[in-house]
């Protein structure tokens, strides 16, 4: 316990330093080199926002289906939800840079593109700002309700809070999936405004769930708040869940390729063409191997899932691949070959540092409500 507390303090200090350094550099570059800095900022924002958003569905699924797997990760998921206000604040700089990111926000491109003019009814700045406010209000309300009733559930033995949590989670999951889909359309799919794929928002959502689940598995084996560590059975179930979401992610990704490949329509294939040119094809194959094949094969083995060190390593590998994935979704729309801008690490770790600081704050705050938080 004491060891955990001191490690958290170190991580928090490190996060604070990183975020200060990152934000100074990111702020300056957003101001002086916006065309280069905004894509970097978007990549960083999307990864950490995904980590926050990924916590919602896992927690709601846990309340709905129960099981022993939720106990070791629950507190981390709740702390992740607690970072939502921070991410809402970090969205604001993006709103000023839409002209650098999205073609629909560039008047010159817009005048020449009839298709885009027709899409203006949806893709315009006032509508987008209203959408963002609505989305964050819905996420915020959902998060507030989940955290509030969870706290009550931990301090009482009455069944009522659990029933309420279930009543929130069932419609909450549906609402969350819809809102997150629309947000993803605005943030990622609109980067190539001619292109659309109805399964793409769900692919992004699966990535978010994967990163949140992977992070909470790692933390559950490293930071022990409860007297006991996660049991092999709990780790096994968490590993199974990770495998399930990984397969769902791959299934959707490959469905999208098959449908677009079979259809062979110019406005659809452009997205893949941008991700095959230059060295991007190599990155695509690296993702296929290291973001799916290797973890998939490893996660099949029961003994590996049950061993804390292996569970942690497999979750860590998946977590590391997620920023690469997001990089692959976003960057090819701006860069013709896969290269890291020197601004990229600053925005990524700047946002990440702030995320870690708030996350640990929430974790310590919620840590006081340790109780027999078990679901039957």
Partner 1 sequence: MTSTTAPLYGLTARFDSEEKLVEAARVIFAEGYRRIDALSPYPIEGLAEIIGQRRSAAPLIMLIGGIIGAVTGYGMELYAMGYFYPLNIGGRPLNSWPLFIPITFELAVLFSALAGMVALLVLNRLPCLYHPLFSVPDFQRASTDQFFLCVEAVDPAFKRDHVRELFERLNATAITEVRTG
Cβ closest to partner 1, residue 144 vs residue 301: 301
Considering the complex, what minimum distance in angstroms separates the CB of residue 68 from partner 1?
A: 14
Cα three-residue angle 357-359-185, rounded to 5 degrees: 110
Q: Cα separation of 265 and 154, whole Å?
A: 54
Contact between 66 and 375 (Cβ < 8 Å): yes
Q: 238 is written with which tokens?
A: 């968490």
Is residue 160 exposed (0-12), middle (13-18) or buried (19+ Cβ within 10 Å)? exposed
- Residues near partner 1 (CB under 8 A), total: 6
CA distance 57 to 60: 5
Shortest distance (Å) from residue 262 CB to partner 1:
6
Residue 266: CB minimum distance to partner 1, A: 13
Q: Which of 4, 255 has the CB closer to partner 1? A: 255
95-122 burial: b if 16+ Cβ within 10 Å, else e:
eebbebbbbbbbeeebeebeebeebeee
**Minimal distance in Å, beta carbon 263 to partner 1?**
10
For partner 1, the closer of residues 167 and 257 by Cβ is 257
Site map (CB under 8 A) of partner 1, residues 177-216, x = contact: ----------------------------------------
- CB of 297 vs partner 1, minimal distance in Å: 10
Q: Do the Cβ atoms of 283 and 338 come closer than 8 Å? A: yes
Identify residues 230-259 at the interface with partner 1 (CB under 8 A).
254, 257-258
Find the shortest distance in angstroms from Cβ 306 to partner 1. 14
- For the chain, what is the radius of gyration of the CA atoms? 21
Q: According to CB under 8 A, which residues from 260 to 289 bind partner 1? A: 261-262, 264
- Retrieve residue 4's tokens: 């955990």
Task: Give whichever of 17 and 254 is closer to partner 1, judged by the CB atom.
Answer: 254
Interacting residues with partner 1 (CB under 8 A): 254, 257-258, 261-262, 264
């Amino acid at each position: 316990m004491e060891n955990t507390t001191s490690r958290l303090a170190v991580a928090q200090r490190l996060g604070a330093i990183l975020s200060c350094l990152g934000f100074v550099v990111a702020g300056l570059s957003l101001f002086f080199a916006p065309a280069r800095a905004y894509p970097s900022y978007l990549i960083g924002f999307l990864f950490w926002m995904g980590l926050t958003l990924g916590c919602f569905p896992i927690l709601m699924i846990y309340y709905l289906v129960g099981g022993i797997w939720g106990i070791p990760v629950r507190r981390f998921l709740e702390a992740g939800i607690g970072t939502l206000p921070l991410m809402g604040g970090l969205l604001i700089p993006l709103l000023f840079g839409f002209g650098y990111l999205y073609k629909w926000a560039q008047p010159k491109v817009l005048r020449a593109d009839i298709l885009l003019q027709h899409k203006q009814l949806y893709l315009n700045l006032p509508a987008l700002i209203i959408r963002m406010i609505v989305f964050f209000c819905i996420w915020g309300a959902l998060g507030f309700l989940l955290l509030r009733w969870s706290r009550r559930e931990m301090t009482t033995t009455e069944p009522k809070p659990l029933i309420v949590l279930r009543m929130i989670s069932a419609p909450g999951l549906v609402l969350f999936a819809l809102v997150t889909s629309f947000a993803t359309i605005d943030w990622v799919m609109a980067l190539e405004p001619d292109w659309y794929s109805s399964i793409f928002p769900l692919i992004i959502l699966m990535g978010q769930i994967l990163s949140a689940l992977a992070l909470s598995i790692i933390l559950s084996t490293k930071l022990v708040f409860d007297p006991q560590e996660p049991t092999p059975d709990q780790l096994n179930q968490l590993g199974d869940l990770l495998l399930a979401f990984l397969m769902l992610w791959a299934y959707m990704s490959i469905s999208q390729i098959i449908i677009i490949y079979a259809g062979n329509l110019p406005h659809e294939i452009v997205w893949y063409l941008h991700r095959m040119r230059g060295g991007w094809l190599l990155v695509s194959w690296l993702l296929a191997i290291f973001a799916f094949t290797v973890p998939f094969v490893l996660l099949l083995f029961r003994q590996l899932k049950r061993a804390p060190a292996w569970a942690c390593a497999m979750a860590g590998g998946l977590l590391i691949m997620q920023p690469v994935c997001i990089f692959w979704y976003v960057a090819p729309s701006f860069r013709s070959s896969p290269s890291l801008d020197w601004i990229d690490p600053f925005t990524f770790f700047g946002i990440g540092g702030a995320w870690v600081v708030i996350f640990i704050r929430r974790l310590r705050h919620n840590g006081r409500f340790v109780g027999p938080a078990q679901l039957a």
